[in-house]
Amino acid sequence: MKKNTKKALIILAVILGVWLIIEVSFLWLIMIISGLIALAVYDMNQTKHSLWRNFPIVGRLRWVFEELRPPIRQYFMESDIDGVPFNRQERSLVYRRSKKLVSTIPFGTKVDVYKAGYEWIGHSLSAVKAKDLDHDPRIVIGDTLCSKPYSASIFNVSAMSFGALSSAAVKSLGYGAKIGGFALNTGEGGISKYHLESNCDLIWQVGTGYFGCRNEDGTFNPELFKEKSNYENVKMVEIKLSQGAKPGHGGILPANKNTPEIAEGRGVKPHTQVDSPPIHSAFTSAEEMMKFITKLRDLSGGKPIGIKLCIGRKEEFINLCKVMHLTGLKPDFITIDGGEGGTGAAPLEYTNSVGMPLREALVFVVDALIGFDLKKDIKVIASGKVLNGMDILKKLSLGADLCASARGMMFSLGCIQALDCHKNTCPTGVATQNKRLGSALIVEDKKQRVANYHKGTIESFIELLASSGLDDFDKLTRKHVFYRLDETKYKRYDELYKPLTPGDLLKAPYPKDFKRFMN
Any idea what the Cα angle at residue 273 is, between residues 272 and 277, rounded to 5°? Answer: 140
CA distance 124 to 467: 6
The pLDDT of residue 23? 62
* Tens digit of pLDDT at every position of the chain (519 positions): 556 666 676 777 677 666 666 665 566 777 788 888 899 999 999 999 999 999 999 999 999 999 888 888 888 888 999 888 999 999 999 999 999 999 888 999 999 999 999 999 999 999 999 999 999 999 999 999 999 999 999 999 999 999 999 999 999 999 999 999 999 999 999 999 999 999 999 999 999 999 999 999 999 999 999 999 999 999 999 999 998 878 888 777 777 778 899 999 899 999 888 888 899 999 999 999 999 999 999 999 999 999 999 999 999 999 999 999 999 999 999 999 998 877 767 788 888 888 999 999 999 999 999 999 999 999 999 999 999 999 999 999 999 999 999 999 999 999 999 988 888 899 999 999 999 999 999 999 999 999 999 999 999 999 999 999 999 999 999 999 999 999 999 999 999 999 999 999 999 999 999 999 987
The pLDDT of residue 114? 97
Stretch (H or E) spanning 381: strand 379-383
Stretch (H or E) spanning 316: helix 314-327
CA distance 110 to 18: 66
Task: Say what the alpha-carbon torsion angle 224, 230, 236, 240 is, to the nearest 10 degrees.
Answer: 0
Whether the CB-CB separation of 413 and 169 falls below 8 Å is answered with: yes
Name which of 296, 322, 315, 319 is nearest 307 in CA terms.
296
Question: In one letter, which amino acid is 35?
Answer: G
CA distance 469 to 124: 5
In the chain, which residues fall in CATH 3.20.20.70?
130-515
CA distance 183 to 266: 20
Stretch (H or E) spanning 121: strand 119-121
The pLDDT of residue 33? 82
Name which of 152, 148, 149, 171 is nearest 160 in CA terms.
171
The pLDDT of residue 128? 95
100 φ/ψ sector (left φ>0, alpha ψ -120 to 50, else beta): left
Q: Which CATH class is domain 130-515?
A: alpha beta
| H helix and E strand count, the chain | 19, 15
Is the C-alpha dihedral spanning 505, 507, 510, 515 positive or negative?
positive
Backbone angles phi, psi at 368, to 5 degrees: -65, -45
Whether the CB-CB separation of 400 and 364 falls below 8 Å is answered with: no
CA distance 214 to 208: 10
Name which of 321, 331, 309, 338 is nearest 379 in CA terms.
331
